[in-house]
Structures are given as C-alpha cells and as structure tokens.
Amino acid sequence: MHRKTKFITKLIILLVVIIIAAGGTIGYGYMTIKNNAKQISSLQNTIDSNTQTVYVAIAKIGQGDLLYDEKNATSEHPKNIEKQKISTGLPSTSYLSANQIGSKAVVDINSNEPIMANMVTDANINADTRNFEISVTSLMTTQKNGDFVDVRIVYPNGEDYVVLAKKQVRDLNLKNCIWTAQLSEEEILRLQSATIDAYTISGTKIYVDKYIQSNLQQDAIPNYLVKPETIDLMNSDPNILSVAQDTLNVQARTDLETRLGKLSEDQLSAVSKGFGLTDTSKNSVILGTDASKESGSSESTESADNATETSESTAAKSTTASKADTSNTTSKADTSNTTSKAATSDKSQTDQTSKVDAGTTGGK
C-alpha cells in the first residue's frame, strides 16, 4: 500500500512537471509566434510603403528604340512595356513617367527590367527634322550603331569647335565612313558650312568623339562659327525653327579667318600630312572674299599677260612688215640702179660703135 502511494505521488509530480513544461513551451511558442507576427506585419508595412507601380520592359529594348505601351502600340510597333508593382526604396521620380511614353531608349534595356527615367531621352521630332546621311567625318575604329557622338571640326592652327552635339549614329557603314543622323534645317546648314571649311582650308578635319555614358552626360553646346554666307541663309530661311545666336557671329568668324590667314603654306602642308588628309585647297586658306580677290587678281593678271602678248605680237608683226617694206624698197632701188647702169653701159657701147663706124667711113 505504501509503495502504491509513493508511485502515485511520483506519477502526479511527473505529470505536473510535464504540464508545466508543456505550458512553458506553448507559452514560449505563442510569444514567438506573436513576435514573429509583429515582425512580419512590420516588414509587410515596410514592403507596402516601398511598393510602387512602375513601367517594366516586357521585351528586349535596344538603344535607340522607342517605348510603346498598350495605348500607343501598333501592329508595326507592338507593346514593349507595361506597368508592374515592384518593391523599391527609390522615389517615384526615378522611374519612367507616363509623359515619357514614346521616348527613345539611350541604353539597352533587358526584359523584366524596371525602366528608369534617365534610360530614355526625348524623341519628339520637329517639323524640320530629317534623316541626313553624313560622309565627311572621320569615325572611330570602334564606332557602332547607337553611339551618341559630337561632330567636331579642328583647324590647322589647333582651334577646335563643336559643329553638332549628341547625335545618335544610325545606319553605320564603317568601311566607307558613312552614317545617318537626325538633323534640323539649322544643323544641316551648319554641317555644310563646316564641310566647305574642310575642303577650302588645308589641314582642316571633321571628326567625331563618343559619349561614355550618354544617359548621364549632358549635351555639348555647339560653338562652331559658321560662314557669313551661311548666316545670311539661316536668317532668311523659313525652314529654320531656332538659331543658336552665339555661333552666328560674323565678327567672330572674321577673326577666325584672319587667324587662319596668317598660317604659312609650309604649316598648312605639315598639318595636312600629319592628319593624313587629301589637300583639296593646295596648301592655302581659301575663304569668302579672299577667294574672289585671288580669282579677280588672277584674271586681271592673265588679261594683262594676254594684252602684253598681243602687243608684243603686234609690234613684232609691224617690225617685220617694216623690214619687209624696207627690203622691198632697197631691192627696187638696187634693181633700178642696175637697170640704169646697164642702160648707160649699152649707150656707151653704142656711142663707141658709132665712132668706129664714122672713122671707117672717113678713111674710105
């Protein structure tokens, strides 16, 4: 009986311990779960507070491609972006906005990649914008389609100017250094003016330099000083929508031509050979009125030379004619003298004969 009581007591104690342990475990688990729930709730709140609906690429978008959503997509240009929720700590202004739909990608964008605002650039096309083929620039050996470049011109005295700023290379033919860019009417005239400079000033070169990160780097500001004739055309051309007044400076252009005019033929030749250029202006600086003056001077000189030659020729003919006349006169005089002498001789002989005949008659 005593043993049975002890067994029961031990059993009760064991059950109590088990119950207490189980209660502790349950309590700990409950508190853990509760704490975890709080953490999950807190994290969810953090996620919710950082969740934004942004535009995400649903297909590979190449550099230079336009962005299309369901509103502006066509059969020719299918949708390549759509709105999706993502978790991010960046402000909403960091991502593509609805106003930028239709913009042009300045970098390659992978599928499922959120599109940042600085990944695109304005693709609005002005009324005077044209696709223009360019074949007068020296290109980089690593040039490829989609590059953003500045077109620059360097003169033989080292002065370097930006002609066109941040133009995207399209339809590249690297072997023949031909590519296409979208240019406004003003930019076309600006490039043509630079082209004339390159052909009329020995040692002048038009080349391109490439932007390293075009989506982050600001556009360069064109500062090329166009020719006065081009300035007049720009000011009178109704197709030009805007003009960069800083580059349309006649006095600055005149000063540039003055500086270039001080270069010697040897200097121009050395620069041309250094650049490996074909010299189309024969070691000279042919600019505007200077060319007219040189042409006029040349024509005047040629006219003077021709006049001199004509005068000399006429004088020569006159001298020859005079000599001929003199010769003829002398010849006639000689002939007359000879005839006279011959007549006198004949007359003398006749007289002598007459005398002989008379003498003979008298003797008889």
Q: Domain ranges in the chain?
A: 51-121, 130-275
Residue 83 is encoded by which pair of tokens?
């709105």
DSSP class per residue in 200-223 = HBTT-EEEEEE-SSTTTSPPP---
Chain centroid to CA 123: 21
pLDDT of residue 61: 92
User: What are the structure tokens assigned to 117, written together?
Assistant: 């605002």
pTM of structure: 0.52
Angle (CA) 56-62-64 rounded to 5° is 110
With CA atoms as reference, report the closest residue to 162 among 173, 171, 151: 151
Residue 79 or 125, more confident:
79
Q: How far is CA 342 from CA 158, 310, 332, 349, 353, in A?
A: 92, 47, 15, 11, 17
Q: What is the mean pLDDT of the chain?
A: 74
Q: Is the pLDDT of residue 47 over 80?
A: no
113 pLDDT more than 90: yes
Give the integer Cα–Cα distance in Å for 120 and 104: 5
Let me know if domain 51-121 sits in CATH 3.40.50.10800. no
Q: 133 pairs with which residues across the strands?
A: 180
Does the pLDDT value for residue 336 go beyond 50?
no
Report residue 73's pLDDT band, with 50, 70 and 90 as the boundaries.
confident
The CA-atom distances, in angstroms, between 359 and each of 102, 350, 362 are: 146, 14, 5
| Average pLDDT of the segment spanning 127-142 | 90
133 pLDDT band, cuts 50/70/90, is very high
